[in-house]
């Protein structure tokens, strides 16, 4: 009797549509408001460094390159993708992207310099 129930269950699952996606072969779009890797628009940055102060993990460093020219360095190993820096930026120079595949083999490659 037990073998009949197992066979019925196996056949039912054989013809059932899978519940998972075939990632990474089929990539689904990220939902609206997804917080992935940061984008930096250097032309909007005024160098106030509020994003650095508000970052709970100290993952952002803003450096002045020249007159009204700044660069953001983000340590993706430290970043918790909370987007607090995005919310606190008065000029909206930072914004989250839908990029989430950020794995690297060394920690050095996780320090990213964001330019315009």
Selection from 91, 82, 85 nearest residue 73 by Cα: 85
Q: Quick one: pLDDT at residue 97?
A: 92
Q: Quick one: pLDDT at residue 83?
A: 92
Distance, CA of 96 to CA of 86 (rounded, Å): 7
Domains of the chain: 30-114 (3.30.70.3270)
Selection from 59, 54, 99 nearest residue 79 by Cα: 59
CA dihedral over 38, 43, 44, 45, signed as positive or negative:
positive
Residues 6+ apart with CB under 8 A from 59: 74, 75, 76, 78, 79, 80
Residue-wise pLDDT tens for the chain (116 aa)?
Answer: 577 788 888 888 888 888 888 888 988 889 999 999 999 988 898 989 999 999 999 999 998 888 888 889 999 999 999 999 999 999 999 999 999 999 899 989 999 888 75
Q: Quick one: pLDDT at residue 5?
A: 82
Q: What is the value of pTM for the model shown? A: 0.73
């Amino acid at each position: 009797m037990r073998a009949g129930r197992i066979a019925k269950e196996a056949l039912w699952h054989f013809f059932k549509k899978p519940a998972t996606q075939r990632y990474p072969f089929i990539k689904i779009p990220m939902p609206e408001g997804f917080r992935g890797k940061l984008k930096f628009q250097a032309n909007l940055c005024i160098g106030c460094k509020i994003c650095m102060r508000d970052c709970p993990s100290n993952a952002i460093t803003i450096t002045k390159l020249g007159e009204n020219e700044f660069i953001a360095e983000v340590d993706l190993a430290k970043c918790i993708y909370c987007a607090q820096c995005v919310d606190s930026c008065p000029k909206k120079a930072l914004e989250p992207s839908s990029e989430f595949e950020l794995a690297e083999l060394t920690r050095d490659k996780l320090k990213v310099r964001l330019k315009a």
